[in-house]
Chain A
Amino acid sequence: DAGVIQSPRHEVTEMGQEVTLRCKPISGHDYLFWYRQTMMRGLELLIYFNNNVPIDDSGMPEDRFSAKMPNASFSTLKIQPSEPRDSAVYFCASSFIGGWYNEQFFGPGTRLTVL
């Protein structure tokens, strides 16, 4: 398996622009997680899905952030409009119930820079 796939790996955009981050979880996994990592705040869980349904979005910082999972093999995290403080590394992770310790497998991350 190719593991969790994220695109793009790097994104540079200007303040006010819409940004869309993409994630393909590992096939067969039924949980998908979006995290944000910054120096100041560390690794924060933004939202997670179970069987394509959002379960907990309490970590989403504000209405500018939205996430969707239209099917089991694809999820997006959208920021509209983007702001410089959104600059961070965004990780997607997936897991499945019944897996050993329900381990989360992480993607390589998307480094977002908002100018």
Chain B
Amino acid sequence: AQTVTQSQPEMSVQEAETVTLSCTYDTSESDYYLFWYKQPPSRQMILVIRQEAYKQQNATENRFSVNFQKAAKSFSLKISDSQLGDAAMYFCAYRSVMGDDKIIFGKGTRLHILP
């Protein structure tokens, strides 16, 4: 069974600085999707960025980018120029391309932005 591990329960970063959130996963599949979701205090789950495993190029969405290391099964999220609105819980998630349609979530990392 696939698992997703986020080893950092909480992190803090100074406003305007860069922060990297770690995520590792375990799978025997060769193709899959990886996601980072953001959950602000409003509780709404918002998709931040997505990556398909067969694509070697790291995904980028404005100030958010990932470092996808397939061999190491690592999928970290980098937030550049951190803003107060980035304060939230961030979840790393895994989904098979084939097989069932479940998304497996990590436990989350709470990110604090220091003004």
Contact = CB atoms under 8 A, between A and B. Distances in A.
Nearest to B34: A101
Give the most central of B43, B44, B46, B100: most A CB within 10 Å.
B43
B101 A31 contact: yes
A102 B52 CA distance: 11
A102 B101 contact: yes
B26 to A, nearest CB: 17
Contact of A109 (B43, B95, B106): B43
A98 B74 CA distance: 26
Give the most central of A31, A33, A42, A43: most B CB within 10 Å.
A43
A24 to B, nearest CB: 16
A104 B104 CA distance: 12
A45 B103 contact: yes
B100 A56 contact: yes
Interface string B42-78: 1111110010100000000000000000000000000
Contacts of A100: 50
Contacts of A108: 42-44
A91 B102 CA distance: 14
Range, interface on chain A: 20 to 34
A111 B26 CA distance: 31
Contacts of B105: 42-43
A103 B47 contact: yes
A89 B35 CA distance: 21
B24 to A, nearest CB: 16
B102 A48 contact: yes
Contacts of B101: 31, 48, 50, 55, 95, 102
29 contacts: A31-B101, A33-B103, A42-B105, A42-B107, A43-B91, A43-B105, A43-B108, A45-B103, A48-B101, A48-B102, A50-B101, A56-B100, A89-B43, A93-B45, A95-B101, A100-B50, A101-B33, A101-B35, A101-B52, A102-B33, A102-B95, A102-B101, A103-B35, A103-B47, A103-B50, A104-B103, A106-B44, A106-B45, A106-B46
